[in-house]
Structure 1
Amino acid sequence: MYVSAEIIAIVISAAGVVLMLGAALFAGFAWIVRRMDAMELRLCERMDAGDEKLGARIDSGDQKLGARIDSVEEKLSARIDSVEEKLSARIESVEEKLSARIDSVEEKLSARIDSVEEKLSARIDALADEVTGVKIAIARLEGPPRHLVSAHH
């Protein structure tokens, strides 16, 4: 089979065009990949810089707030201790006063109870004597017990 020079030129031209288009596509993709890598590096650098700034700001805020919280904690602890001491002293004072008052009331009531007990004991003894006297009087009134059978008939 015989191939003319024109057909060979067309085939070689088509192969050249295909190779050229392939090389152009490859170069275009390589260029896009390079740009994307460069953009990624710039974005990473920006993010790292922003991260460092935010980290420093957060650390500074954390230190300031920590110091402020510690200061407030110390003030409140001192205030609570002061209030606790005052209230403890006040409670002890009230306890002493109430204990003295309770002791006084206990003594008064004990004396009063003893007095009432003595009076009631005397009244009960007197009443027992009276009951004995009443029993004797009733026995005299009733006289000797009557016998059921009488000898005088």
Structure 2
Amino acid sequence: MFVSAEIIAIVLSAVGLLLTLGGTMVAGFAWCVRRSDRVEERLGARIDGVEERLGARIDAVAADTTELKIAMARIEGPQRHLIVAAR
């Protein structure tokens, strides 16, 4: 069986092209994964910071609400009786 040099060149070129395209696709996918991991880390840090600030604000509002409830209870509470000194 005789295979011409042109057929061998075409087959080798096709294999080389497929390997090149496959390697490029793998490298591109790896770059996308690596980049998304970096974005995820930065986004996670940013979300943690927002959660901490939000938690502090909620605690401050809770403290203000407690103080407001105490003040309202004092205003709406029973009337204070004046103690009048006997003459």
Check whether TM > 0.5: yes
Matches within 5 A, 1:103-142: 103-142=37-76
Structure 1 alignment gaps of length 5 or more: 1-66, 146-153
Q: Secondary structure at the match of 2:64?
A: helix
1:93 corresponds to which of 17, 22, 27: 27
- How far the C-alpha of 1:94 sits from its partner, in A, is 1.2
State the TM-score, normalizing by the size of structure 2.
0.75
State the TM-score, normalizing by the size of structure 1.
0.45
Structure 1 counterpart of 2:14: 80
Q: Which amino acid aligns with 2:41?
A: E
Which structure would you say has the larger Rg? 1
- How far the C-alpha of 1:89 sits from its partner, in A, is 1.1
In angstroms, what is the RMSD of aligned CA positions? 2.1
Structure 2 alignment gaps of length 5 or more: 80-87
Q: State the aligned residue count.
A: 77
